[in-house]
Amino acid sequence: MSASISRRERIRKRAKKIKSLIEMLDDVRAGFYSDLDKIEDLFKELKLKDAPYRPSSVLKSAKAILQLPQKSPEYPRLKKLGRFATYLLFIGLAGLVIATFVLILNLSYYIYLAIITAVLVVINISYFTKVYISQKIVKIYSERENEFEHHGETIKTMIEYLLLKYRDEVRKLGLDPRHVNLKLRHSDYKGLIVKEKPGFFSAKYTLTYSR
């Protein structure tokens, strides 16, 4: 009995690692930051001997995609703006804490109102600054579309391979892959169908296996 539980737990952990690797590579393929060291560690732990590419080749493509914005002359300014937006966000969060204490201590309502107003202004500036940066990054990627798609194709092929591996592990657990959801930024992977498109609260597709 314990041996059976142990085997099931090993399968569950392996499936979880494969899913994490799929999600991280999908983020990179869309140009979003992902921890490349963590990706490398997952490749080492999974020991994927029949993969279509060596992990080093996939990591090389991932690194190339993430470094594309750095080739733009606008990148230093965008980096400074990113730090500024993060700084404003922390100020806003600190303001919320202060406003909460003002309310708990039953101090002046006008002070509370002034702090909350300032917090909303600061957080909105931070949000729209990040939106502006994202739009600029998208533009940079579009200007280097050929290079972006070349490296993205390598990552896509690896993800489709990992999706097959993940489906195998899910079946070993006695689950129906058609009832397993994946949250990804792309919907063009073989064997997956769209259950839900990105919306206001999520920038990702909800996908599942077609069979």
pLDDT in tens, 26-72: 999 999 888 999 999 999 999 998 999 999 999 999 999 999 998 88
CB pairs under 8 A, 24+ apart, for 197-202?
Answer: none
Of residues 148, 153, 185, the one with CA closest to residue 71: 148
Neighbours of 78 (CB within 10 A): 18
Digitized pLDDT (tens) for each residue of the chain, 211 residues in all:
555 568 889 999 999 999 999 999 999 999 988 899 999 999 999 999 899 999 999 999 999 999 999 888 998 999 899 999 999 999 999 999 999 998 888 888 889 999 999 999 999 999 999 989 988 988 988 888 899 999 999 999 999 999 999 999 999 999 999 999 999 999 999 999 999 998 877 789 999 999 8
Task: For 199-211, give one letter per residue: b (16+ CB within 10 A) or e.
Answer: eeeeebbbbbbee
**Which amino acid, 200?**
F
The H-assigned helical ranges of 30-144 are 36-46, 55-67, 75-104, 109-143
Copy the structure tokens of residue 203: 């920038």
Q: What is the pLDDT of residue 203?
A: 83
Q: What is the pLDDT of residue 106?
A: 83
CB pairs under 8 A, 24+ apart, for 97-105?
Answer: none
Task: For 157-190, give one letter per residue: b (16+ CB within 10 A) or e.
Answer: bbbbbbbebbbebbeeeeeebeebebebbbeebe
pTM of the model: 0.80
Copy the structure tokens of residue 162: 């990992």
Q: What is the pLDDT of residue 3?
A: 58
Q: What is the pLDDT of residue 187?
A: 94
CB 86 within 8 A of CB 133: no
Q: What is the pLDDT of residue 167?
A: 97
Name the 3-class secondary structure at 144.
Answer: coil
Q: What is the pLDDT of residue 5?
A: 63
Q: What is the pLDDT of residue 201?
A: 72
Q: What is the pLDDT of residue 4?
A: 59
Q: What is the pLDDT of residue 208?
A: 95
| H helix or E strand, kind and range, residue 205 | strand 205-209
Nearest-angstrom CA–CA distance, 162 and 52: 10
Nearest-angstrom CA–CA distance, 11 and 123: 43
**Which amino acid, 30?**
A
